[in-house]
Structure 1
Amino acid sequence: MNTLSAITPLNNDYCEQIIDIILPIQQIEFNVPVTLNDQPDLLDIEKNYHQTGGGFWGAKHDELLVGTIGLIAFDKHAGAIRKMFVRKEYRGKELGLAQLLLDTLIDYCRQNQITDIYLGTVDVLKAAHRFYERNGFIRLPKTELPKSFPVMSADTIFYQLHLTN
């Protein structure tokens, strides 16, 4: 494999490439019953991520987008991780791509006074659960989420990370 480019911010110019990564992973690899219609945020990255005070980042290998992560800022000091996906052939500790994506998002949160990061996921993504837990995320019941947290219909498991200085 050639070298991976740096993690960079993505805008609406990348919507099609973002969808091309995310939908097959959700639908084919993990059989999550979710469609593009269930995820209109993917059609307007700038409105749904950047304009909230969050962001959306990607990792490229040559010109191919191979990983994504997004942050929706939903409160003055809180954000929701969305769309963290890495193409299967680019996963694993060897490349550390998932860690680079998460570290980029956490750095952004620290720079923008976002102290609490939340996320929702599905039961079948066991490796993702382990990854988040290794990174200090604590599992919490849906009832303990902030009222303004943007819950996705497919999500059944929730996590929080409180950032300290």
Structure 2
Amino acid sequence: MKPDIIPIENQHADTVIDLVLNIQQKEFNIAITLQDQPDLLDIKNFYYASGGRFWGAFINEELVGTIALIKFDEHAAAIRKMFVKKEYRGKEFSIAQKLLETLIQYCTENEIDDLYLGTVSILEAALRFYERNHFVRIEKGLLPEAFPLMSADNVFCHLNLKEQK
């Protein structure tokens, strides 16, 4: 079953919040609340205003995954909100891969050369996924000054898209 991956905005905020908080809090016991993530309450202004995007993966009209891009520099952006429902993870659906490919295609078309992300060390499968996709772990001190830090993040990665071509 092939997911439909489309840009989404505020009309999907409640569904996005439900998906993200369930994975963060219930599945991985990460101490993070909606108040810690005000971006989820105003997707359009937070992501789109600076030249970023927010995509949703839908299967039979059900939101099963998300990925977002914050453009924080002329040629640099951060990946945020990469989440896939547990029952849709893995190679059978390849939702995470398709979401990442959609984001990278957008970056290529919009001259974004450097992608960064922050995550938490408990998300080991996510880190392996990023490493398979050529992201390299970097020290927090090597992040660009304008990188939008999240307090919970303790592992950081970088991908130079020009080197991948």
Bin for the TM-score computed over the shorter chain:
over 0.9
Partner of residue 93, structure 2: 95
Aligned equivalents of 2:62, 2:2: Cα separation in 1: 10
Q: CA deviation at 1:4?
A: 3.5
Aligned mate of 2:138, from 123, 137, 140: 140
Please list every run of at least 4 consecutive aligned residues from structure 1 whose deviation after the TM superposition is greater than 3 angstroms.
none
Aligned equivalents of 1:21, 1:61: Cα separation in 2: 14
- Identity rate, percent: 58
Aligned mate of 2:153, from 148, 152, 155: 155
Q: TM-score, normalised by structure 2?
A: 0.97
Question: What amino acid does structure 1 have at the position aligned with 2:45?
Answer: K
Question: What amino acid does structure 2 have at the position aligned with 1:129?
Answer: L
5+ residue gaps, structure 2, are: none
Partner of residue 78, structure 2: 80
Query: Is the CA contact (8 Å cut-off) linking 1:4 and 1:62 kept in structure 2?
Result: no
Question: What amino acid does structure 2 have at the position aligned with 1:91?
Answer: R
5+ residue gaps, structure 1, are: none
Alpha-carbon RMSD: 0.7
CA offsets 1:49-94 (integer angstroms, 9 cap, x no match) = 1111010001111121000000000000000000000000000011
Q: TM-score, normalised by structure 1?
A: 0.97
User: 1:1-165 alignment to 2 at 5 Å?
Assistant: 3-164=1-162, 165=165
Aligned equivalents of 2:129, 2:139: Cα separation in 1: 18
Question: What amino acid does structure 1 have at the position aligned with 2:64?
Answer: V
Aligned equivalents of 1:14, 1:90: Cα separation in 2: 19
Aligned length: 163
* Distance 1:127-1:5 versus aligned 2 partners, 3 A rule: closer
- Secondary structure of 1:124's counterpart equals coil
CA offsets 1:25-59 (integer angstroms, 9 cap, x no match) = 00010011000000000000000111110100011
* Distance 1:123-1:19 versus aligned 2 partners, 3 A rule: same
